[in-house]
Structure 1
Amino acid sequence: MSHAPQIKIAATYMRGGTSKGVFFRQDELPAVAQQSGPVRDALLLRVLGSPDPYGKQIDGMGNASSSTSKAVILSRSARPDHDVDYLFGQISIDQHFVDWSGNCGNLSAAVGPAAIHMGLVDADRIPANGIATLRIWQANIGKTIIAHVPITDGQVQETGDFVLDGVTFAAAEVALEFVDPADEGSHEGADGGAMFPTGHLVDTLDVPGVGSFAATLINAGIPTIFVNAADLGYTGSELQDAINGDAAALARFEAIRAHGAVKMGLIADVAEAAQRQHTPKVAFVAPAAGYTASSGKQIAAQDIDLLVRALSMGKLHHAMMGTAAVAIGTAAAVPGTLVNLAAGGAERNAVRFGHPSGTLRVGAQAQCVNGQWQVTKALMSRSARILMQGWVRVPADCLQPAPPPKTTTTA
């Protein structure tokens, strides 16, 4: 019996913020996987080691968490005012699908450095020493990200003294600007809608079998559903084990996410939520209070403006998704949202919030124009570095996805 050989594909394994992912140049993927579709999805699933009923991704590059089951495809930008096009895929761990419905804010920090390393950025855009300011087209959501990448002797500077809670070692700081992160238009994997898709800063979200909750539903960075921690019986200082070890709690959060997605117009029926795991996110907020982070670090109430905990791919995140941080910063800048109220209700253009691994500061510039809230940009800093580069190897038959199951008909 013959078996398909393994093939090798050039790839770079990178950390960006508190996430890790496998990065590819689009033109270095197999020809049949250079376009979106089931063949590309099947390839990325096999690279990461999914779907894995054991939930470990042992036979792939994934690390069995939403933060590490990710893939990025980069190419020279087709747009004259941008340097690189960036497409993000959230790879399901135990199911056979790739979610293209949103961006990864953490891996956004690695896009500029990766593009430079991969030779996708023109040499005249990179200073000998200083900061390379790159314009990135985020293809999933049709938005611009500006990355400020430190350069030393013509190369990306990866080491430094910037500390990011949730990442063990210090590295060089990469500052990011998310330009006009709200009001998504029609584009691959996303849905249209205003920053507040219901037209309200706070809605009542009715979830059968769970309850009715005040909720802020926002499209900024990534569609996000914010609820008050106290309404769910939480303090807002919970760590991962308090939520992820509670199957009933996870089911309640998924029900809230599904009904919120319908209310936001992202899906037509709650049943569709199972095939749209990456978006929307659901998060709960509370006023500032002291707590012990997962590393043992003590976080003092006076050092933060509020507490936020967020779920990604059905589990409480170990820190904070970068795109959700954009949503937090934007919502905090709009007086009257649940996020703003948890932070004290004052007008503000930046907040520092507490998450399970520590704290994060994010800024946003928001204004109300003709009765509609708009945000021009959100700002935050992350770090990134290459962990490994070379080739990933996968069985060649992964480029031939299995046909759909046969159906039988009766007369």
Structure 2
Amino acid sequence: MAHAPQIKIAATYMRGGTSKGVFFRLNDLPEAARVPGPARDALFLRVIGSPDPYGKQIDGMGGATSSTSKTVIVSKSARPGHDVDYLFGQVAIDKPFVDWSGNCGNLSAAVGPFAIAGGLVDPERVPDNGVAIVRIWQANIGKTIIAHVPMTSGAVQETGDFELDGVTFPAAEVQLEFLDPAAEEEGAGGAMFPTGNLVDDLEVPGIGTFKATMINAGIPTIFVNADAIGYKGTELQDAINGDDAALKRFETIRAYGALRMGLIKSLDEIATRQHTPKIAFVARPAEYVASSGKRIGADDVDVLVRAMSMGKLHHAMMGTAAVAIGTAAAIPGTLVNLAAGGGERQSVRFGHPSGTLRVGAEAVEANGEWQVKKAIMSRSARVLMEGRVWVPNVLPD
């Protein structure tokens, strides 16, 4: 019996923020995978090692968490005012599914460095020393991200002294600007608050009715108060991820929130949107010990936030959810803003399971609608390995 050999594809394994993923240049992919569709999804599932009923992704590049089950495609952009197009695929761990419905804010920090190193940015726009400005079109949500990438002696600077809670070692700082971050989601009419309200009563049959802020900014996110669902806002992963009943409650609340936001038309569609929307819970500042053992004081943060990602409590905070947090915090009257003390603000420092993070956003109200021109935060990124990823050929002949 003849056995087909594996195929080899040029790829780079990178950390961006508190996530890791496999990065590809579009033109390096097999021809069948250069366009959206089943062939691309099948390839990326096999690269990452999904679906895996054991939940470990042993036979692939995935790391068995939502933060490490990710793929990225980058290409030169034909869009005026942009250097590259960036497409993100969140790969399910135990299901044969790649979710293309949203961005990864953490891996956004690695796109600029990858694009420069991969020759996708015009060399005239890249200084030998200083900061390269990379203009990124985020193709999943149709938004612009500006990455400020440090350069030293003609190469991307990756090492440095910038510390990011949730990442063990310091690295070089990459500042990201998310322009006009209100997500243009199908069914939501492009509105930042798709229900038209800063706070809604979200009725979830069999569970209860909760105050909720539902916002499209960075990534569609449903915010509820921690005490309304039986939490303090100081929880770490073990307090939730081992509780199957709690995970099912969160998923049910997320489904009804998605329906209310117009992101799905029926509850059973939520199975096809594992990446979006996110659900998070907020609380007023309180002291807790982060997963690293670092003590976070009540005075160290403005608000506490915990967020779910792909059905589990995230170990830190998704970058796109951080944009949603910063945006909601800047708008008086949202649950995030109220938990942070209310009033107007241009930045917020929030506590998450791994520590703290600061994100800035400036909100303005015009004609009765809130707008945020950009949200700003700092991450870091580093190449972990580059070369070729080997994968059994799952592509059509």
Task: Give TM-score, length-normalised by structure 1.
Answer: 0.95
Work out which of the residue numbers 350, 354, 358 in structure 1 matches 2:351.
354
Superposed counterparts of 1:174-189, under 5 Å? 174-184=174-184
- Which residue of structure 2 aligns with residue 21 of structure 1? 21
Aligned partners of 1:123 and 1:49: how far apart in 2? 36
User: Once superposed, what is the RMSD of the aligned Cα atoms?
Assistant: 1.0
Cα shift readout 1:34-79 (whole Å, capped 9, x = no counterpart): 0000000000000000000111000000000000000000000111
Distance 2:290 2:113 in 1: 30
2:289 aligned partner? 292
Identity of aligned residues (%): 75
Q: Give 1:332's match in structure 2, choosing from 329, 347, 371.
A: 329
Q: Which residue identity is paired with 1:283?
A: A
Of 279, 282, 286, which aligns to 2:279? 282
In structure 2, what residue type is equivalent to 1:263? R
Paired with 1:4 and 1:275, the residues of 2 have a C-alpha distance of: 32
Q: Is the 8 A contact 2:181 2:217 kept in 1?
A: yes
1:409 aligned partner = none
Amino acid at match of 1:49: G
Q: Secondary structure at the match of 1:399?
A: coil
1:285-343 Cα shifts (integer Å, max 9, x gaps): 00001100000000010010010000000000000000000000000000000000000
Closer, same or farther in 2 for the Cα pair 1:58/1:185, shift >3 Å?
closer
CA shift at 1:191, angstroms? 5.9
1:365 Cα deviation after fit: 1.1
Quick one: which amino acid aligns to residue 301 of structure 1?
Answer: A
**Structure-2 residue corresponding to 1:234:** 231
Q: Secondary structure at the match of 2:323?
A: helix
Amino acid at match of 2:386: Q
SS at match of 2:338: helix
Paired with 1:253 and 1:351, the residues of 2 have a C-alpha distance of 25
Q: Judging changes above 3 Å, is the alpha-carbon distance between structure 1 residues 251 and 185 closer, same or farther for their aligned structure 2 residues?
A: closer
Per-residue deviation, 1:400: 3.2
Structure 2: gaps spanning 5 or more residues: none
8 Å Cα contact 1:104-1:321 kept in structure 2: yes
Q: Residue 169 of structure 1 corresponds to which residue in structure 2?
A: 169
Matched, 1:69 2:66: no
Structure 1: which 5+ residue stretches go unaligned?
402-411
Q: Could you tell me how far 1:80 is from its partner in structure 2? A: 2.4
**Post-superposition offset of 1:209:** 1.1
In the TM superposition, what are the counterparts of 1:91-170 in structure 2 within 5 Å?
Answer: 91-170=91-170
The reply on whether 1:320 has 2:317 as its aligned counterpart is yes
1:127-157 per-residue CA deviation (whole Å, 9 max, x = no partner) reads 0100001110000000000000000011000
Question: What's the secondary structure of 1:253's corresponding residue?
Answer: helix
What corresponds to 2:303 in structure 1?
Answer: 306
* Contact 2:188 2:194 survives alignment (8 Å): no
Range with bigger deviation, 268-277 or 16-25: 268-277
Q: Distance in 1 between matches of 2:242 and 2:141?
A: 32
- SS of the residue aligned with 1:272? helix
Match of 2:395 in 1: 399
CA distance in 2, matches of 1:267, 1:44: 25
- Tell me how far 1:2 sits from its aligned partner: 1.6
Cα separation, 2, equivalents of 1:273 and 1:194 = 20
Shift, 1:270, TM fit: 1.0
CA distance in 2 between counterparts of 1:92 and 1:192 reads 28
Which of 263, 267, 290 is the matching residue for 2:264? 267
Aligned residues: 397
C-alpha separation between the residues in 2 aligned to 1:11 and 1:183? Answer: 29
Are residue 223 (structure 1) and residue 233 (structure 2) matched? no
Shift of 1:192: 3.9
How far 1:183 moved relative to its partner? 4.6
Deviations 1:222-274 (A, max 9, x none): 00000000001100000000000000000000000000000000000111101
User: Does the CA-based 8 Å contact 2:315-2:353 persist in structure 1?
Assistant: yes
Q: Trace 1:194-205 onto structure 2 (pairs within 5 A).
A: 194-205=191-202
CA distance in 1, matches of 2:224, 2:340: 13
Q: Which residue of 2 aligns with 1:406?
A: none
Checking the alignment, whether the CA contact within 8 Å between 1:183 and 1:192 is kept in structure 2 is no
Q: Secondary structure at the match of 1:268?
A: coil
Q: Structure 2 length normalisation: TM-score?
A: 0.99
| Residue deviations 1:101-146 (CA, integer Å, cap 9, x gap) | 0000000000000001111011101001000011100000000000
Is 2:360 aligned against 1:363? yes
Residue pair 2:234, 2:288 contacting (<8 A) in 1 also: yes
**2:248 is matched with which residue?**
251
Distance 1:71 1:192 in 2: 28
CA distance in 2, matches of 1:177, 1:253: 30
Structure-2 residue corresponding to 1:407: none
